[in-house]
Structure formats: structure tokens, C-alpha cells
Structure 1
Amino acid sequence: MTATDIPSPPASQDPRPEGLDEAAVHRLVHTFYARVQKDALLGPIFGGRIAEDAWPVHLAKMCDFWSSVLLKSGRYEGRPLPPHLALGSDAGEPQFARWLALFRPTALEVLPPDAAQQAIAHAERMAYSFRLAIGFHKGEDTTRIIPYG
């Protein structure tokens, strides 16, 4: 057997879309949460729980979260569901639908198309699973919760 007879290893297949990197995650998070803060429905919910001087810490945590989700960086250390459970009636269907209604166009605006679609798909899955978990904890009939998308 010669060197030319040895098959080449498969090419590395990075599932990350082109243009999806830490800078893109930062743009997504900061643009999105700037819009959340100004939103009539979501702004008061976030503003009532995050002090103005605590926003940099929250944004850094959200960058870590989305970096872990989209880039598999492992930077986020925490459990995202408990804070959402603590929101009570402020974490219902209207709030999740509005969150996604802001997230989708933001992702499409600040990320390359393939990266935006990946981020949106993750956001929709998370919103759906959070909504199921919150409904379950509230004793709601979660069989009526329809996936987003």
C-alpha cells in the first residue's frame, strides 16, 4: 500500500454557518435587547427586574448564553429556566410570542442568512420548551401549546 492508496480523512464539517462568530453573537444580543428595552410589552418586564446599571452584566450573560447555544463555546454557566419560572404571569404566550417577534427580524438584520436561520430555529425551540415547562409548573394543559415557527 502506498501513500496514495490511503484515503484522506473526511473534510472537517463545521456546522456553524459562515459569519456566525463571537462578534455576530455580540451584535445579535446587544441589538435585540436594545429593542426589548424599548418594547411596550417586554420593556416594563425587563425594566422591572434589571436595574439600569445591571444591564451590562445581563448582556454579558446573554452573550455567554447565545455563544454556548450557537457556537458551542460552553461559556454559559447557569440554568435559564428558573428565572423564567419566577416571572409568573409575565412569562406567558403573549410575552414569548412578542419576544420571538422581535428576535426574528433582529437576527435576520444583523446576521448572515444561514446564521440568522440557525439562531431563529434555536430561539423558537427554546421559547417552545420554556413555554411547556412554565405551563407544566403552573398546572396548565400543555397539550394545547403549539410550537413556534
Structure 2
Amino acid sequence: MDVNSHAEELASDLGVDKEEVKADLENLLEYSVPIDEAKQSVRRKHGGGGGGSSPTPDAVDVGEITTDHDGVTVTVRVLTQGTRTIRYQGDDLTIREGEIADETGVISYTAWQDFGFEPGDSLTIGNAGVREWEGAPA
């Protein structure tokens, strides 16, 4: 299936403009994001949930997360939070990254926007994408 077909399908499911969806997909694919993950990201952006069989993923423990998971929901405590500026499509963007944990494990995170949380805060994070970073889920 080509990008146009994916965009048309998503736009129809989400009730949004196909060209906007296509631009979002192409942007993510340009950065080597796998198509399934790109589609999940576009669904989240436009309020369509994870796009799987269940609109709200079941909660999982951090220690159970693998790269086979996608769209997970976790209840965690923020251990660390830092910011870093990256160049993305010609623009300087500030991302947040750090570690979160529950009683079963610790995992790294990256957030592309400021959600206002700080170390020590307890959060429930829904529909979070999981990727591999340096050989481990992140």
C-alpha cells in the first residue's frame, strides 16, 4: 500500500483532511519511522486513539514492555527529565527525555512537547509508542 492509500484510509477513519494526513505521514516516513508507527502517531495527533482493535490499550507494567508492544498505557513515576534541542525539518525543536519507572522496571522516554511533568510526578501515560533505542525498549 502506498502513502496515498494509507493517507486516504486514515483520513476517512479520522474524518480529517487527506492532504494533512498525507503530509504528516510523509514527514514521519522521511525520518525512517516505520509505516505502522507513523499511522499510530497520526491517529494520536488527530484524536483517533491507537487504531488497534481496542481504542484504549490495556495497562502494562514497565517491566513487561517489549518492542513488540505499541500504544501501551503505563502508570509510572517520573525519575528524570531533561531537555535537548534538535534540528527537525530545518527548525530547532526542544524535546524532553528522561526515565520513568514503576515497581517492575525503568524505561527511557522522549516527549516532543512539554506536558508539564517533573521528576517525582506520578503519571498515567496512554497509547505511548514503543521503539528500540540502544538495544532496549524506549
Q: TM-score, normalised by structure 1?
A: 0.30
Name the structure, 1 or 2, with higher relative contact order (CA <8 Å, separation 6+).
1
Say which one has the larger Rg: 1
Higher fraction of strand: 2
Higher fraction of helix: 1
Q: TM-score, normalised by structure 2?
A: 0.32
